[in-house]
Amino acid sequence: MSLDVTFLGTGAGFPCPSRGASALVLRRAGQCWLFDCGEGTQTQLMKSHLRAAKITKIFITHLHGDHIFGLPGLLCTLSLQRSPDASVVPIDIYGPLGLRSFLWRSLELSHSQPLLPYTVHELVPTQDQCPAGEFRDFSGLDRGEALAQAPPGTVLHLDAETDSYLLLEDEELSVRAFRLFHRVPSFGFVLEEKPRPGKLKVHVLQELG
């Protein structure tokens, strides 16, 4: 399996002229997976060798602004580059509980109507992921009647047996999230390649007896 990583931004707190806010892209099998989307990420993408239209999945570690403020703008730009087609596969966005509301409200209040479909998969944090005074329960945000207007989404809970969240799995790899301790609930992501059978050079073995 071929993988390569491009760092689009490594700055913390705020961007600077020589270093963007947090964002990196993992390229795999013709797809681009974006991890975090700080302010200016789409500009950094334009400067790189990557194509933003190839982004199929986005993973957000936590809800601090230097990791998410670029996301509404990126979705709008991607939407401008694509035609409204019912067959287009939605972009999957993974991140902490509250991310779905942030995106929907940002786009709703700015009168943005992205043509690009997206689905938000929210990870429910535990209270021990941040200082007690910093933990906020976002489980009630935009529920009820408002929820029907929001983009599709799912809610993922911690698997006590593995102490992780299974995000996706295919024949080549699995992707899990695990809890990190930070000022706000935060998550790391693990891509684990599955074992593959080796390829034997039969003729060489025969020559060796």
Distance CA 101, CA 140 (A): 10
The one catalytic residue in 66, 142, 159, 170 is 66
Check if 66 is active-site. Answer: yes
Residues annotated as catalytic are 66
